[in-house]
Structure 1
Amino acid sequence: MDFGFTVEDEAFRAEAREWLAAHADGDPDRRTWERTLGKAGWIGLGWPEPGYGNRTATLTQQVAWAEEYARSPAPPRSGHIGENLLAPTLIAHGTAEQKARFLPPIAAGDELWCQGYSEPDAGSDLAGVRTTAVREPGGTSYRITGQKIWTSLAHEADWCFVLARTEPGSRRHQGLSFLLVPMDQPGRIEVRPIRQMTGTSDFNEVFFDGAHARVEHVVGGEGGGWRVAMSLLGFERGVSTLAQQIGFAEELGRVVRAALASGAVADPVVRERLVRQWAELRTMRWNALRTLGGSADPGASSVAKLLWSGWHQRLGELAMQVRGAAAGVGPADWSDSAPYELDGMQHLFLFSRADTIYGGSDQIQRTIIAERALGLPREPKG
């Protein structure tokens, strides 16, 4: 892709920077912040269809917005799953009624979403989904039973898009459907936060015990869930990857400063690792730009995931190396009532241990590259 920013793009970037400077200060709660973004039209820039309360933007303008957001003091997004995953999926596969019902609340920041894919026995292997959705008498709704796990932001979400088995006795890719499920169903949906090594709980277990989903809220038709689910995963990378790299660059800068402060930079091995991290980050940026316009390579998104997850994990390890003994958590940091307090670099190290697992493990990404990009024999399925 011939990627460059025009005069119009830079004007758009300046508008975004000025708006963020005026509105991103303070500490708003995440739901209020989503509504602030929605009121200004900043949600849904990449949607090809206008008219849902979103402003439109070219691909380069979407990149400019994502980069400026990453550089600003704005809080982490709560609405990105609805905006960047579900919305493009509805635009591609949803009915006119589904688009009219769900896109405006996403654009306004009024409804937050989570993703019901992974299960205890079907993590990256989505074809092993066991959660069932059975038509109720009368045929107007489904009753959903099963468990999902590693569900990001489920404790905040209003809705969940759920991959469930609607055809009894079906196996693997067959008989799956993509359902839109309201989370406000006391007694039928239970959310249990999963405490991570960092002490935070971004992920959750979600239990469905006869939860209801309306028949008109099946996207892609009954039995079309696998096709829709795979289409959604194709939207998972893209512009957000470049914004992610802005954050990575800031983390690398902190590690470099720590190496200078501790004197670790005098070690030639440490210097070589710091330079390698910088060079690999630049390579990731150019690879992301190269594929941003839509790569025909079926393994492009898997290559990108392998690159950044391993890079970020190595950065966390390097952060601990340059700080030496000061990187440890000692008794003074412990308390009886709360997890130990972590600084930014300790959090980086602990959280990045999961980078090569969530969003599709390294093993799954390599299998995708081998089978879909290189054409190697497919792995036998049980």
Structure 2
Amino acid sequence: MDFGFSEEDEGFRAEARTWLAANADPVTDRRTWERTLGRSGWIGIGWPESGYGNRSATLTQQVVWAEEYARSPAPPRSGHIGENLLAPTLITHGTDEQKSRFLPPIAAGEELWCQGYSEPGAGSDLAGVRTVAVREGEGYRISGQKIWTSLAHEADWCFVLARTDPGSRRHHGLSFLLVPMDQPGRIEVRPIRQMTGTSDFNEVFFDGAYARVEHVVGGEGQGWRVAMSLLGFERGVSTLAQQIGFAEELAAVVQAAVHSGAVQDPVVRSRLVRQWAELRTMRRHALRTLGGSADPGAPSVAKLLWAGWHQRLGELAMQVRGAAATVGPSDWSPSAPYELDAGQHLFLFSRADTIYGGSDQVQRTIIAERVLGLPREPKGAV
């Protein structure tokens, strides 16, 4: 793909940059910020359909918005799961009633979503779902547990992959359900404290939680097809915005190397240059595959590229600072909470990069089976 920005794109960039400069505030409450974005039509510009309160934008303009947002002081998004994952899935598989009910509140920043996929004991094996949904009248009663659920503590709704056919195995008999989170006594959210001291992920327990029958997307028993379609939306324009953040982190590591004198070490210099070159390569790969690739392994290649790269950057962030990287702030006391600096947070959080969003092992299996045509990996007894 010969990727470039037109004069119209640059005008769109100027509009986006001006709006962000006037409105972005890093300390704004995240839910309030979502509504601010929604009122100005900045949510859902990448949807293949407009008219739900969002503005339309070309693919290159979506890239422009994502990059300008990443460069701005705007707070992290809380609505990206609904906007970038659920909404395109509803547009592809949902009924007109489902689109009319759920897309406008997402575009307005009024309803936040989380993803109920991963389960304890299943790892990245999405077909190992054990959460069950039993038909009851005009709906389903859901029982089971999900884990590593991002933003569940803030979400109004959760899209849940559950087994609606009790005799089914693996990817058969699954359904994709839209479940309201405000069900006291039926849904419990427990934050998971990470090495960084933060709690971005959660455990979610469903004890007879209710979902209406008209909130099954794609039809009962078609959950696997819908879930796989959703995962195809997980990596796209947002990857380029992610790389803006990566570039800023790399610049900070380079600055730390200069400050500590580690840059004088030829091995360190070589690693810094390699990180820079690999980041440029990732950008070219993302741009080349952005317009739609016939290669079914492209998303898996992208995940393998950035996950390993980011982990190596975290390790390098510690190496260039030497022993100073292992200690806390000078004013720390036992009575005060331990605060990580940016480099320490980068190192600890990046340990998870090769696991979340589809582990490296799973991505390699996808490439081997779907691209290279190698024999399928043997499955254990189910």
Please classify the TM superposition score into its range, dividing by the shorter chain length.
Answer: over 0.9
Map of 1:311-326 to 2, 5 A cutoff? 311-326=309-324
The amino acid of 2:176's aligned partner reads F
Q: Deviations over 1:24-56 (max 9, x none)?
A: 035111000000000000000011111100001
1:332 offset after TM fit, Å? 5.3
> Alpha carbons of 1:115 and 1:337: their partners in 2 closer, same or farther (altered >3 Å)?
farther
Q: Distance in 1 between matches of 2:350 and 2:165?
A: 38
Contact 1:159/1:180, CA 8 A, preserved across alignment: yes
1:180 offset after TM fit, Å? 0.2
Report how many aligned residue pairs link the two structures.
380
Q: Which residue of 1 aligns with 2:376?
A: 378
Q: Distance in 2 between matches of 1:317 and 1:240?
A: 24
> Alpha carbons of 1:231 and 1:71: their partners in 2 closer, same or farther (altered >3 Å)?
same
Q: Percent identity?
A: 88
The amino acid of 1:218's aligned partner reads V
Map of 1:282-293 to 2, 5 A cutoff? 282-293=280-291
Q: Which residue of 2 aligns with 1:9?
A: 9
Q: Deviations over 1:316-350 (max 9, x none)?
A: 00000001111113495755566410111111000
Task: Say what the alpha-carbon RMSD is for the aligned residues.
Answer: 1.1
Is residue 88 of structure 2 the alignment partner of residue 59 of structure 1? no
Contact 1:333/1:340, CA 8 A, preserved across alignment: no
Q: Which residue of 2 aligns with 1:47?
A: 47
Q: Which residue of 1 aligns with 2:94?
A: 94
Q: Which residue of 2 aligns with 1:197?
A: 195
> Alpha carbons of 1:333 and 1:237: their partners in 2 closer, same or farther (altered >3 Å)?
farther
The amino acid of 2:7's aligned partner reads V
Q: Which residue of 2 aligns with 1:363?
A: 361
Q: Which residue of 2 aligns with 1:71?
A: 71
Q: Which residue of 2 aligns with 1:172?
A: 170
Which stretches in structure 2 are left out of the alignment for 5+ residues? none
Q: Deviations over 1:86-118 (max 9, x none)?
A: 000000000000000000000000000000000
SS in 1 for 2:352: coil
* Superposed structure 1 runs of 4+ greater than 3 Å apart: 330-339
Q: Deviations over 1:166-204 (max 9, x none)?
A: 001100010000000000000000000000000000000
Map of 1:278-357 to 2, 5 A cutoff? 278-330=276-328, 336=334, 339-357=337-355
Q: Deviations over 1:117-160 (max 9, x none)?
A: 00002221100000000001x3x010000000000000000000
Per the normalisation by structure 1, the TM-score is 0.98
Per the normalisation by structure 2, the TM-score is 0.98
> Alpha carbons of 1:26 and 1:353: their partners in 2 closer, same or farther (altered >3 Å)?
closer
Q: Distance in 2 between matches of 1:110 and 1:185?
A: 18
The amino acid of 2:131's aligned partner reads T
SS in 2 for 1:270: helix
Q: Distance in 1 between matches of 2:337 and 2:348?
A: 13
Q: Which residue of 2 aligns with 1:255?
A: 253
Contact 1:199/1:339, CA 8 A, preserved across alignment: no
